[in-house]
Amino acid sequence: MKKFRRTSLINLTLSAMLMALALVLPFLTGQLQQLGSMLLPMHLPIMVCGLVCGWKYGLAVGLVTPILRSLLFSMPVLYPNAVSMAIELATYGAVIGLVSDALLHLKSFKSHPLAVAYASLVPAMLAGRVTWGMTQALLLGIKGASFTFKAFLSGAFLSAFPGIIIQLVIVPLIYTAVVRLAWKSKS
C-alpha cells in the first residue's frame, strides 16, 4: 500500500475542504464551549488531513483553523484558547503525518491502513495534548494566572474523554475508507 498521496493540487483541495469542515463542525455542538471541549469537533478533520495529505498540510491546517474560526465566529476566544488550540492542532496534524509516513516505510505496515491509522493517531493525540498543556501554562502564565497539573489532566483527558473515544473510532475508519477508495481508483 502506498500512502494516499496525489498531486499538490489535490492535497491543497482536500486540505481546504477539511479546514472548512473543521470550521463548521463546532456548530453541531451549538456553540456551547463545554460541549465542544468534550466532543472536540475541530480535531477530527485536522487529524484526517495529516493522515491523508501529509504532515505539512496537517500542520498548516491545524495552525490556521482555530485562529480563523476565532476571527470569523468569536469562538474559541482568541487568547489564550484559539492560540493554544492552534499549537495543539498543528501538533496533531504534523505528528500524525510524520508517524504515518515513517510507518509506511516499514514492510509490515504497507498493506494495513487501520494499523497505520491507530499507530499514528495515538502518538499524535498524546503529543497534541502535552503541547496544549505546555502552551496553556505559558499563555496563562503571561496573563499572571496559573495552570495546574490538575487543570491539565482535566482539560486534556478527563473532560475530553468522549472526544478522545470519537477520535479513536472515526479517524481510523475515515482513513481506511479513503485508502481503499484510492486503491479502487487505481485499478
Burial class of residue 186 (count of CB atoms within 10 Å of its CB; 0-12, 13-18, 19+)? exposed
At residue 164, what is the residue type?
I
Total tally of structural domains belonging to the chain: 1
- The pLDDT value recorded for residue 38 is 83
Q: How far apart are the first and last CA of the chain?
A: 13
Quote the domain boundaries for residue 161: 8-186
CATH number for the domain including 94?
Answer: 1.10.1760.20
In whole angstroms, give the CA distance from residue 75 to residue 112: 38
Contact 124, 47 (CB under 8 A): yes
116 pLDDT more than 90: yes
Residue 23: inside a domain, yes or no? Answer: yes
- The pLDDT value recorded for residue 6 is 57
Residue 2: inside a domain, yes or no? Answer: no
Across 1-5, 128-132, 141-145, 160-164, which has the greatest mean pLDDT? Answer: 128-132
In whole angstroms, give the CA distance from residue 100 to residue 3: 8
Residue 3: inside a domain, yes or no? Answer: no
Query: What own/partner pairs with CB < 8 Å and gap ≥ 24 does 127-134 have?
Result: 127/91, 127/92, 127/95, 128/43, 128/88, 128/89, 128/91, 128/92, 128/95, 129/88, 129/156, 129/157, 129/160, 130/156, 131/87, 131/88, 131/91, 132/84, 132/85, 132/87, 132/88, 132/91, 132/156
90 pLDDT more than 50: yes
Model pTM greater than 0.75? yes
Burial class of residue 122 (count of CB atoms within 10 Å of its CB; 0-12, 13-18, 19+)? middle
- The pLDDT value recorded for residue 39 is 86
In whole angstroms, give the CA distance from residue 77 to residue 91: 20
